């Protein structure tokens, strides 16, 4: 196993304190990892994450006009979001290195997840979060016993403050957005999809994307299987964003957009203006011939409510972004009525009620 910088094609020996490339500062990625070996060499910290159910949404597929929609119920993870897959491996690596204090910044779900895994591992976690994050997410982080730092202004301020705090005190900055172990941990999502669906993989996977860990890890894992001949197709990957915060859509379509145009959004989990792994996000979309589209606040709330009313699934608005995006992709004929789609229900509705 080694760390690779995909930006300048260099590789280094893995080290827990290293998340970004020394030469170009791009976040590092784990290569050549044996997941089974990793679980033997690390002191594994687990809360029973993963193994989420995959179900078919028959009413939603008829309403939106596709042949099949699979939903993978990531809201059933221990802290209510897919982030637990990444936190389990990241905190296991940190615990194995004997580190006892970490600093993280988050819009909410990753903070709650890192707080929970730190709690069980006996690690002190300082979580920096925007002060306007949903109250349920802030409360969840506090109840796990993390030291919470509420930072005024937009999401990026929390990141800046967290980095400085860690630097000043010589604490490990364990950001889920750049940590290679976190990204590696989220691969179990698509590994489960590949194992369960086998030769019936969906044509498209539609993901709400802020900093892109789920999109990137899905691409890395599925592409690895595809290149080795283990899959009969490589699903197209889509990054869906809100109209209010759309740096990825703007990059994919060459539309000018800057942080000054950022507006408030109910999709708080993906309100990231400057994803540090942008290059990998763009690679995943381009290499799978996918796309990136943005959706309105009204359409997000429409699908949050509709999927609850029709399918009995209560998700946070950030997760409903995928359904609004799917409607748009079907309307624009990027996805055909005969196609099948997989959507991760990334987070529980109880985390953010608007
Ligand atoms: Zn580099």
Structure tokens at 259: 């942080």
Token pair 């489960």 in the structure block, residue: 192
Residue 36's pLDDT band (cuts 50, 70, 90): confident
Question: 3 C-alpha to center of ligand 1: Å?
Answer: 11
Render pLDDT for 189-205 as a digit per residue (tens, 0 to 9): 999 999 999 999 999 99
Question: 209 C-alpha to center of ligand 1: Å?
Answer: 23
State the average pLDDT for the chain.
Answer: 96
Question: 11 C-alpha to center of ligand 1: Å?
Answer: 9
Question: 4 C-alpha to center of ligand 1: Å?
Answer: 8
Question: 184 C-alpha to center of ligand 1: Å?
Answer: 18
Question: 28 C-alpha to center of ligand 1: Å?
Answer: 8
Three-state DSSP string of 188-200: HHHHHHHHHHHHH
Residue 45's pLDDT band (cuts 50, 70, 90): very high
Average pLDDT estimate for 170-176? 97
User: Does the reported pTM lie above 0.85?
Assistant: yes
Token pair 């990444």 in the structure block, residue: 86
Render pLDDT for 58-72 as a digit per residue (tens, 0 to 9): 999 999 999 999 999
Nearest to 223 by CA among 187, 177, 249, 179: 187
Render pLDDT for 69-114 as a digit per residue (tens, 0 to 9): 999 999 999 999 999 999 999 999 999 999 999 999 998 999 999 9
Euclidean distance between CA atoms 143 and 351, whole angstroms: 14
Three-state DSSP string of 80-139: CECHHHHHHHHHHHHHHCCCCEEEEECCCHHHHHHHHHHHHHCCEEEEEEECCCCHHHHH
Question: 341 C-alpha to center of ligand 1: Å?
Answer: 35
Question: 12 C-alpha to center of ligand 1: Å?
Answer: 10
Question: 171 C-alpha to center of ligand 1: Å?
Answer: 23
Question: 284 C-alpha to center of ligand 1: Å?
Answer: 18
**CATH of region 54-81+185-351, choose from 3.30.70.1020, 3.80.30.20, 3.20.20.10, 3.40.50.1100:** 3.40.50.1100
Let me know: does 274 contact 247? Beta carbons within 8 Å: yes
DSSP code of residue 177: T
DSSP 320-353: HHHHHHHHHHHHTTSS-TT-EEEEE--BBGGG--
């Amino acid at each position: 196993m080694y760390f690779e910088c995909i930006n300048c094609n260099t590789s280094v020996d893995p080290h827990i304190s290293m998340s970004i490339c020394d030469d170009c500062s791009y976040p590092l990625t784990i290569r050549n990892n044996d997941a089974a070996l990793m679980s033997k060499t690390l002191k594994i910290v687990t809360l029973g994450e993963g193994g989420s159910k995959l179900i078919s949404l028959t009413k939603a597929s008829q309403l939106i006009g596709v042949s099949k929609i699979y939903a993978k119920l990531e809201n059933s993870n221990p802290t209510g979001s897919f982030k637990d897959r990444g936190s389990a491996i990241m905190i296991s690596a940190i615990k194995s290195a004997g580190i006892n204090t970490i600093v993280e910044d988050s819009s909410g779900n990753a903070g709650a997840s890192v707080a929970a895994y730190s709690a069980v591992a006996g690690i002190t976690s300082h979580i920096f979060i925007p002060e306007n994050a949903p109250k349920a997410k802030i409360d969840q982080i506090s109840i796990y016993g993390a030291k919470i730092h509420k930072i005024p202004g937009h999401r990026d301020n929390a990141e800046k403050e967290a980095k400085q705090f860690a630097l000043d005190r010589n604490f490990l900055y364990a950001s889920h957005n750049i940590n290679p172990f976190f990204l590696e941990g989220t691969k179990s999502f698509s590994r489960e999809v590949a194992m369960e669906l086998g030769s019936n993989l969906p044509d498209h996977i539609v993901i709400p994307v802020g900093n892109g860990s789920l999109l990137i890890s899905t691409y890395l894992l599925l592409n690895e299987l595809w290149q080795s001949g283990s899959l009969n197709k490589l699903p197209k990957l889509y990054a869906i964003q809100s109209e209010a915060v759309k740096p990825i859509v703007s990059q994919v379509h060459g539309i000018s957009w800057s942080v000054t145009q950022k507006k408030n959004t109910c999709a708080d989990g993906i309100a990231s203006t400057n994803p540090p792994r942008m290059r990998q996000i763009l690679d995943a979309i381009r290499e799978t011939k996918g796309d990136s589209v943005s959706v309105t606040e009204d359409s997000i709330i429409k699908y949050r409510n509709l999927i609850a009313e029709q399918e009995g699934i209560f998700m946070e608005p950030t997760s409903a972004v995928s359904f609004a995006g799917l409607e748009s992709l079907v309307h624009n004929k990027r996805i055909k009525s005969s196609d099948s789609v997989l959507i991760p229900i990334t987070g529980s509705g109880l985390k953010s009620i608007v």
